[in-house]
Amino acid sequence: MGEGQSNNHGDRDAPVKVGMISLGCAKNLVDGEIMLGRLLRSGVELTADATLADVVIVNTCGFITDAKKESIDSILEVVHAKQNGRVRRLVVAGCMAQAYADDLLREIPEIDAFVGLDELESITAAVRGEIAAHIPDQRGALKVYDHHNPRVLSTGGYAYLKVAEGCNNPCSFCHIPAMRGSFRSRSIDDLLSEAQALESAGVQEIVLIAQDTTRYGEDIGLRHGLRSLIETLLAATSVPWIRFLYAYPATLDEGLFELMAEEDRFLSYLDIPLQHASRPVLKAMKRGGDGHSYRTLIQRARANVEDLALRTTFIVGFPGEGEEEFEELLEFVQALRFDHLGVFTYSWQEENPGSDLGDPVSDEVKIARRDAILEVQQEISMEHNRRLIGRVLPALVTGRLEEMELLLDARLARQAPEIDGRLLINDGSAPAGSLVDVEVTEAHPYDLVGKIVRVIRPGLRDRPRLPVVG
């Protein structure tokens, strides 16, 4: 937080100005949007510039050590602004409020209030100082927030639709179930109502998310739940792009491949976080499958879906990953040639179910292994991107490029928001949120460059960020 202009704290008639720093995953972002929606409905003034805010909400992430450190650093930054008189109140929300509020309050007494994952409706009271810094129930969350909750969209042209909360998977590297609770789905009717509200707000792309999206509906008695949901959204909305993220291999309904092949609006994109390819490592992670079964699954997906874009993520340096296991993973990456790939170094935390495995792989080895995979993937990505030169493909314009305002920032259908590369448009113009046809003219390892051929569906120029009121 920089040295913004000071607030006029003496004007009691002025509305409270609230800013939010939202960290972590898209699921946390949706929670943040719901809190902002409730604040806007209550008459609070929102500001995108936290340096001008009377109250700052830090919506935290507690997934891995680096995420927790980023959250704490952000909290301390607001504490500093508070001590200098630029901020009146500090509210901490998100996963760290759910799991670590007791520790945070002991170490950082300047925190004025916490909002747990089941307490989003209390955000207005927290902002206005009507509740003290109580400790949220430190067990896993239990609630599911439905379409009746207002949201303020913080994204341009697209929106996330959270189809379920929590997770039932026992992965030994992850303590999200301890924070977000057991898996619980929303109903198809509820999700359709929210999707229709998003469409009315001008959203051109809906991204379905959950911790285990492919398990959607299992807990409420739906067979082929995700497929049924997507079929309903295709039939009952006209949103041009629909995609889903986070396919758990064990619960992936291969009927989705047929639906992708049949329906242009259901994007040919599969994000399947495999985590590893060596069976001994996967066993230690408490994950099913192995390199052979994953290879077979991916081959079937590619055989069914023409031009499928495939993304995955891996963890290197997990306990039990020796040179042999790492080489198996590296060979798997070279053979499968993913379009997009992310690599995390294992983050040991005592809260993880597998913490008793220790952390035997050194940080130096972890980083070297991560870099080795990324080096291989960079060449693969460059090869994939070169093949796109000269093709005319639909793209979603997200706005002006922050670094160079003469360029437009956009994404092809094969690029999911925030996690994949981007398309830079250096010829032609269209409002943010527009769907356009773009001819790809240049390829780089992660990004592409292109020119607009035609505007398919213009965005709402004056409404880049819209409240969606339930």
Residue 423 has pLDDT above 60, yes or no: yes
Phi-psi region of 43 (alpha: psi -120 to 50; beta: other; left: phi over 0): left
Q: Are 79 and 26 part of one and the same domain?
A: yes
Say yes or no: 323 and 405 in one domain. no
375 and 400 share a domain? no
pLDDT of residue 235: 97
Same domain, 121 and 216: no
Supply angle C-alpha 436, 440, 445, rounded to 5.
Answer: 120
Q: For the packed helices 255-262 and 225-236, what is the interaxial angle rounded to 10 degrees? A: 20
| Residue 243 falls inside a structural domain | yes
Assign 3-class secondary structure to 360-408: CCCHHHHHHHHHHHHHHHHHHHHHHHHCCCCCEEEEEEEEECCCCCCCE
Predicted confidence at residue 82, as pLDDT, reads: 87
156-198 pLDDT tens trace: 789 999 999 988 888 888 888 888 888 999 999 999 999 999 9
Which class for 73: exposed (0-12), middle (13-18), buried (19 or more C-beta within 10 A)? exposed
How far, in whole angstroms, is CA 196 from its chain's centroid? Answer: 21
Question: What is the average pLDDT value for the chain, to the nearest integer?
Answer: 89
- For residues 124-128, average pLDDT: 92
Host H or E run for residue 329: helix 323-336
Cα separation of 214 and 428, whole Å? 38
* Percent of the chain's residues with pLDDT above 70: 94
Whether 289 and 244 map to the same domain: the answer is yes
pLDDT of residue 460: 67
- Give the pLDDT band of residue 400 (cuts 50, 70, 90): confident
Is the residue at 332 inside a domain? yes
Is 42's pLDDT higher than 60? yes
**Beta bridge partner(s), residue 1:** none
Q: From 386, 413, 435, give the residue that closes a domain.
A: 386
For residues 200 and 229, membership in a common domain is answered with yes
Give the helix/strand (H/E) hosting 228. helix 225-236
Q: What CATH number corresponds to the domain at position 431?
A: 2.40.50.140
Per the domain annotation, does 171 fall within a domain? yes
Evaluate whether 399 touches 345 at the Cβ level (below 8 Å): no
- DSSP, collapsed to helix, strand or coil, labels residue 96 as helix
The confidence band for 470, taking pLDDT boundaries of 50, 70 and 90, is low
Mean pLDDT of 16-32: 90
pLDDT at 418 > cutoff 90 = no
Q: Is residue 133 part of a domain?
A: no
Residues 47 and 156 in one domain: no
The rounded distance, in Å, linking the Cα atoms of 95 and 192 is 27
Beta strands in 44-185 (DSSP E): 45-46, 55-60, 89-94, 113-115, 151-152, 158-162, 164-165, 184-185
Residue 320 lies in domain: 151-386
Predicted confidence (pLDDT) at residue 268 exceeds the cutoff of 70: yes
Cα dihedral 309, 315, 320, 324 sign: positive
- Six-digit token pair at 356? 């008793």
Using left for φ > 0, alpha for ψ between -120 and 50, and beta otherwise, residue 228 falls in alpha
Higher pLDDT, 351 or 258: 258
Domain co-membership, 170 together with 108: no
Of 62-66, 99-103, 370-374, 417-421, which gets the smallest average pLDDT? 62-66
Of residues 467 and 411, the one with the higher pLDDT is 411
Place of tokens 């800013």: 19
Residue with tokens 């959204």: 233
State which of 355, 370, 386 marks the end of a domain.
386
Provide the CATH number for the domain around residue 122: 3.40.50.12160
Please tell me whether residues 304 and 344 are part of one structural domain: yes
pLDDT score for 159: 94
- Model pLDDT for residues 355-367, shown as the tens digit of each residue: 888 889 999 999 9
User: What pLDDT does 395 receive?
Assistant: 96
Average pLDDT over residues 196-217: 93
Domain-located, residue 146? no
The residue among 352, 386, 420 that closes a domain is 386
Residue 111 phi, psi dihedral angles, 5° rounding: -65, 130
Q: Note whether 96 and 166 are same-domain residues.
A: no
State residue 349's pLDDT score: 82
Q: Which of 443, 445, 459, 467 is nearest to 400 (CA)?
A: 459
The C-alpha atoms of residue 2 and residue 84 are separated, in whole angstroms, by 12
| Residue 11 within any structural domain of the chain | no
| Helices then strands, each counted (H, E), the chain | 12, 20
pLDDT for the residue 295? 95
Tokens of 198: 């998003």
Q: What is the CATH number of the domain that holds 224?
A: 3.80.30.20
Same domain, 380 and 429: no
Q: Summarize the confidence of residues 61-67 as an average pLDDT.
A: 80
Largest CA distance in the chain: 67
Average pLDDT over every residue of 447-464: 80
Extract the tokens encoding 435.
């769907």
Q: Contact 265/233 with Cβ under 8 angstroms?
A: no
Rounded to whole angstroms, how far apart are CA atoms 36 and 465? 12
**Which pLDDT score is estimated for 9?**
44
pLDDT of residue 468: 52
Residue 402 in this model has a pLDDT that exceeds 80 = no
Whether the predicted pLDDT of 375 surpasses 60: yes
The mean per-residue pLDDT over the stretch 56-63 comes to 88
What mean pLDDT do residues 40-63 have?
Answer: 87
The answer to the question of residue 347 being in a domain is: yes
Contact (CB, 8 A) for 82 and 110: yes
Question: Of 61-70, 186-195, 301-310, which gets the smallest average pLDDT?
Answer: 61-70
Query: How many domains does the chain fold into?
Result: 3
The whole-number pLDDT of residue 283 equals: 95
Task: Render pLDDT for 278-297 as a digit per residue (tens, 0 to 9).
Answer: 999 999 999 999 999 999 99
Residue 138 within any structural domain of the chain? no
Q: Which amino acid is at 405?
A: E
Q: Which helix (H) or strand (E) holds 39?
A: helix 26-41
Residues in the chain: 470
Which pLDDT score is estimated for 431? 87
**Residue 379 and residue 416 share a domain:** no
| pLDDT (mean) for 251-262 | 93
Q: What is the pLDDT of residue 469?
A: 44
Taking the whole predicted model, whether its pTM rises above 0.85 is answered as yes
Q: Is the pLDDT of residue 5 over 80?
A: no
Asked if 114 and 133 count as a contact pair (C-beta separation under 8 A), the reply is yes
